[in-house]
Amino acid sequence: MVGPSPVRSHVSGLPPISLVAAYRLRWQRRRLLWRSFRARRDLRQVDDRTHDLQPEAILAITVLRNEITRLPHFLSFYRALGIDHFLMVDNNSDDGSAEFLAAQSDVSLWQTGASYRASRFGLDWAGWLQIRFGHGRWCLSVDADELLVFPGDTEHGLRGLTRLLDRQGKQGFGALMLDLFPKGALADVAHDPADDPRQTLPWFDPGPYRANRQRPRGNLWVQGGIRERVFFAQDPRRSPTLNKVPLIKWNRRFAYTNSTHAALPRRLNNLYDGPGGTMASGALLHTKFLPEVVQKSRIEKQRREHFYQPELFDEYYDKIVTSPVLWHEGAVRYDGPEQLERLGLIRSPEWI
């Protein structure tokens, strides 16, 4: 039995800022755009199949490393949802990811051996592709372990959603990152790359989630859920940020500032008001906790490429390496985006 709304707080609207703060944000955005322009030198073109892109093409932009176990389903999922072309940066994979992607007719692929951390965790590389190919197009920026769902997605897809957003004069669509997990110990779960990870990881935490807005960018900050419950219960302030605005009708003057959690100009941060909010939103189903996460955590702890202060997350990696059981009595079995709407976690677009 599901209890009352799992959302502790709800916020809306951008907080006002001073003229000085607005000026500083404009310069920050310009610096980020320059970083992306400069980062093009890190990228080696493997397959560029963008010459036939239509103006109305919906693009997916992804930076990845060693994701061969997810890529078959990832591509089929987003093809079915309505992605026309994938722009992908492979960061030195050695598991066959690059070779697999190079064989896909709707994928344009670049490779780099440069530092993921030094590129603002891939934002500089993705930013260059957004500048080069995304201007005037709807762009979905997602990781290989994220699956976007929203009420009505089977019937309308991304094409229907973006047309609706265009009619409403909206520039983007926000989402809650919702961690999925198995019932048993992480390393004991079997998963085939051709399988839907939602079948391997069918459970999620319905709450609690809390939200507030940060100054000066006005970006939302949603926290809570399973990773806070299991890994950051002693210091919830360090738990992961769970809000994203992954779908934006791109302009070459836009820039993400912190993954897809926040963007500039700051009005883009007002495209999502969090769980329990009034704005249409979806969920990014986060499939991080496939069984491979145990070995990957050993590797990533050594690589130290995923956090600004990686030493602060050694304990987080160490706990994953123990292959914990993430399931608990309060977990809910995933049954589609309409279920998430009933729980107050996302909100359906106003389909016409």
Q: What is the largest CA-CA distance in the chain?
A: 55
The pLDDT value recorded for residue 308 is 56
Alpha-carbon Rg for the chain, nearest whole angstrom, is 19
- pLDDT tens, 314-347? 788 788 989 999 999 999 999 999 999 999 999 9
Q: Is residue 290 part of a domain?
A: yes
Separation of CA 310 from chain center: 20
DSSP 181: B
Q: What is the mean pLDDT of residues 161-187?
A: 97
Distances (CA, A) of 80 to 56, 139, 144, 154, 172: 17, 16, 16, 9, 20
CA dist 175 and 150 (Å) reads 9
Residue 333 identity: R
Distances (CA, A) of 344 to 12, 257, 278, 333, 340: 16, 28, 10, 16, 6
Q: Is residue 115 part of a domain?
A: yes
Q: Is residue 287 part of a domain?
A: yes
Burial track 243-269 (b if 16+ CB lie within 10 A, e otherwise): bbbbbbbbbbebbbbebbbbbbbbebb
- What is the overall mean pLDDT for the chain? 92
The pLDDT value recorded for residue 81 is 98
Confidence band of 2 (pLDDT split at 50, 70, 90): very low
Q: What is the mean pLDDT of residues 71-78?
A: 97
Q: Domain range for residue 207?
A: 19-342
Burial track 204-225 (b if 16+ CB lie within 10 A, e otherwise): bbbbbbbbebeebbbbbbbbbb
Residue 232 makes CB contacts below 8 A (sequence gap 6+) with: 238, 239, 240, 316
Whole-model pTM: value is 0.94
Q: Are 210 and 224 in contact (CB under 8 A)?
A: yes
Distances (CA, A) of 286 to 139, 147, 180: 19, 7, 6
Q: Is residue 350 part of a domain?
A: no
SS3 335: coil
The pLDDT value recorded for residue 352 is 65
- pLDDT tens, 105-124? 999 999 999 999 899 999 99
Q: What is the mean pLDDT of residues 58-74?
A: 97
The fraction of the chain above a pLDDT of 90, given in percent, is: 83
CA dist 121 and 137 (Å) reads 23
Q: What is the mean pLDDT of residues 51-60?
A: 95
Total number of domains constituting the chain: 1
Confidence band of 193 (pLDDT split at 50, 70, 90): confident
Confidence band of 13 (pLDDT split at 50, 70, 90): confident
Q: What is the mean pLDDT of residues 202-214?
A: 95
